[in-house]
Amino acid sequence: MTDRIVYQSSELYYYREGDGNKVILLFHGFGQDHKAFDSWIDVLESDYTIFAFDLFFHGNSKWANQQALTKEDWKKIFQLFLEQEKIQRFEIAGFSIGAKFVLATVELFPERIGKIILLAPDGIENNFWYSFATGTSLMRIVFRSLILGRNRLNALIKFLRPFQDKNLLRFVGFQLSTEEKRKRVYNSWIYFRHLSFNLKDLSLQLNSRNIPVIFILGKSDKVIPFKVIEEFAKTLNNCQFQLLDAGHPDLIGKGINYLNI
């Protein structure tokens, strides 16, 4: 079943599968859509009712507001979803950039959450380049010129080759290989920039409610290195840390075996 939440002039699409008594919400990574979690459906559908979302700028979801998405926006959108589906309590999982929406939900609705699964989560590491590119209006203008200007972007990638991991640059090159992909990178970075978190406060919130957290990370992941996430995981009382022999794109498929810990 496909449905959507309309907020002002924006639309958040989601897809419902399964008929189990428990509820789980799934948020995909950059460049994907709700189908990224198709491999989880057979595993979960007998025990769970599953809601897989299209993030804004992905799949069918659209963010039409000229202003960046705020946590207050997300609170209102997510409350509409909970009311529409009559959900009281749920588990929640997010991969890569989708983890930002998971963490925002945790921050805003902690009393509703039964378990959290984070696969190579974005939003925990304070990335210097992300902060630099999105932190001021001037740098956002520069970033737009760079990311949407193909020749400038190619020159930058060529310059970085001696200093960066080849697999990481290959991943970056693929994500920026078309105009549509470059626009998605720009929009996701700029319009999701307010989804940032104080890790100390987040840790206190999770520990005070004893919310179980499962981290699923890859040893060879160059996009979200596991060591940074590992430091945050050590601050949590109810935590499982699964380090797999995998790279960034493989974690959803290989993470199936760790869903019911």
> DSSP per residue over 146-199, as a string?
HHH-HHHHHHHHHHHTTTS-HHHHHHHHHHTSSHHHHHHHHHHHHHTTT----H
**Which tokens is 233 given?**
């995981």
26 three-state secondary structure? strand
DSSP strand pairing (239-244 vs 213-218): parallel
Q: Which residues lie below 8 Å from residue 122, measured CB to CB, with a gap of 6+? A: 96, 97, 98, 99, 100, 224
Per-position pLDDT tens, the chain of length 261: 899 999 999 999 999 999 999 999 999 999 999 999 999 998 999 999 999 999 999 999 999 999 999 999 999 999 999 999 999 999 999 999 999 999 999 999 999 999 999 999 999 977 655 565 666 677 676 666 666 655 544 544 443 444 344 444 454 554 555 767 778 888 888 899 999 999 999 999 999 999 999 999 999 888 888 888 999 999 999 999 999 999 888 999 999 988 875
**Which tokens is 96 given?**
């890569």
**Which tokens is 136 given?**
């001021």
130 three-state secondary structure? helix
SS (H, E, C) 35-89: HHHHHHHHHHCCCEEEEEECCCCCCCCECCCCCCCCHHHHHHHHHHHHHHHCCCC
DSSP state letter for 170 = H
- d(Cα 105, Cα 19) in Å, to the nearest integer? 23
* CB-CB contact of 28 with 121 (8 Å): no
**Which tokens is 176 given?**
């920026």
pLDDT at residue 249, as a whole number: 87
115: which strand partners?
Answer: 91
pLDDT at residue 257, as a whole number: 87
144 three-state secondary structure? helix
pLDDT at residue 51, as a whole number: 98
* CB-CB contact of 71 with 107 (8 Å): yes
23: which strand partners?
Answer: 49
* CB-CB contact of 76 with 174 (8 Å): no
Domains identified in the chain and CATH numbers: 2-126+196-258 (3.40.50.1820), 128-191 (no CATH)
Which amino acid would we find at residue 256? I
**Which tokens is 142 given?**
């520069």
Number of Cβ within 10 Å of residue 168's Cβ equals: 14
**Computed from CA positions of residues 240, 243, 247, 251, in that sequence, does the dihedral angle turn out positive or negative?**
negative
Number of Cβ within 10 Å of residue 21's Cβ equals: 7
